[in-house]
Amino acid sequence: MVSEERAIGVDVGGTTTKAGVVDGAGKILSRLEVPTDPTAGTKGIIRAVEQLLDGLGGEPTGVGVGVAGFVDAARGVVTFSPNLAYDDPHIADALRTRVNVPVFVDNDANAAVWGERSFGTARGLDHVAMLTLGTGIGSGFVVDGKLLRGKTGSAGEFGHLVIDPHGPVCPCGLRGCLEQFASGGAIARAARRAVQDDPGSSILNFAENAASITGADVAHAAREMDETARRVMREAGAALGIGLVNIVNVFDPEVIVLGGGAVAAGEPFLGSARDTMNGMLAAQRRRPQRLDLALLGTDAGLVGAAALALQP
């Protein structure tokens, strides 16, 4: 019975680990949010799952885990993680020693798109793309109703698509990746540079100093019509628009879903992305592309991780 299903979902972010018990309708019944201990790795995941199990009073249907990095989903193993240390990369095996239920491990951006596809704005669709716009850009794709994972679990890294070979160096090792232009982090960095030329910008009213400007500060200033903030947002949005057109040309999805903290920047950012995308698709004589915000908001990863166990 769908209504009696309850899965545990864990979303291991760079700064926060979110976990929750999710029912068969995608509703979060209980939740837990703790700072991610970058050295705890798999132990941190097990700790979060055990805390939720204590409150559950019974076995869940399954456990799903979304982690940043490359994941061999078939074996439940993290094969590469950019910013967290996994003492034991065999997450699924380790969890199975604690819970006697199926365990699913996947990339966090895959979990997010699976959440939106299971319970969010892309519910039931078979061709879905999702960008999670945070400090970086995560991406997940549903192709013909299945998650795109590739041969080794390292597919779907659209944030590291090179869109300008002369662009800035990315921590991933490449130059000119999409996330260097269109992420929350990119917005913050562009604003830090821009206030050098415009020290009167109201962006500086929201930050302690130029070096500490965040994407949220730029968003505040843009809403108050600060021209420098709006220009930074426009340019980041235009780059995002190029990324969206690239998604359309590669995947032809039914919907592109945008999630992550940076969507809070709103119209100065997203409007520019939409306008750029629409203009470019019109130039190609392609059909308009449906573009939605994540319905599950920043819970897409948590709910999606649970959905991996509910609707594998």
Considering the complex, state which of residue 8 and residue 147 has its C-beta at the smaller distance from a second copy: 147
Residue among 160 and 234 whose Cβ is closer to a second copy: 160
Report the distance separating Cα 10 and Cα 246, nearest Å. 31
Residue 149 Cβ, how far from a second copy at the closest point, in Å?
Answer: 7
- In angstroms, how far apart are the furthest CA atoms of the chain? 61
Cβ count near 267 (within 10 Å): 13
β partners of residue 32: 19
Q: Which residues bind a second copy (CB under 8 A)?
A: 80, 127, 143-144, 146, 148-158, 160-166, 172-174, 239, 242, 245-246, 249-254, 280, 282-287
CB atoms within 10 A of CB 55: 10
Please report how close the Cβ of residue 106 comes to a second copy at its closest, in angstroms: 14
Are the CB atoms for 289 and 248 separated by under 8 Å? yes
**Closest CB 152 distance from a second copy, rounded Å:** 6
Dihedral of the CA atoms 200, 206, 209, 213 (nearest 10)?
-110
Nearer to a second copy, 3 or 151 (CB): 151
The percent helix, strand, coil of the chain (3-state, each to 5) is 45, 20, 35
Smallest gap from residue 57 Cβ to a second copy (A): 39
Which residue lies nearer to a second copy by CB, 116 or 157?
Answer: 157
Nearer to a second copy, 54 or 144 (CB): 144
Rounded to a whole number of angstroms, the minimum distance from the CB of residue 232 to a second copy is: 17
If the CB atoms of residues 6 and 149 are measured against a second copy, the closer one turns out to be 149
The answer to whether residues 31 and 18 touch, using CB atoms and an 8 Å cutoff, is yes
CB atoms within 10 A of CB 167: 16
Least Å distance, CB 158 to a second copy, is: 6
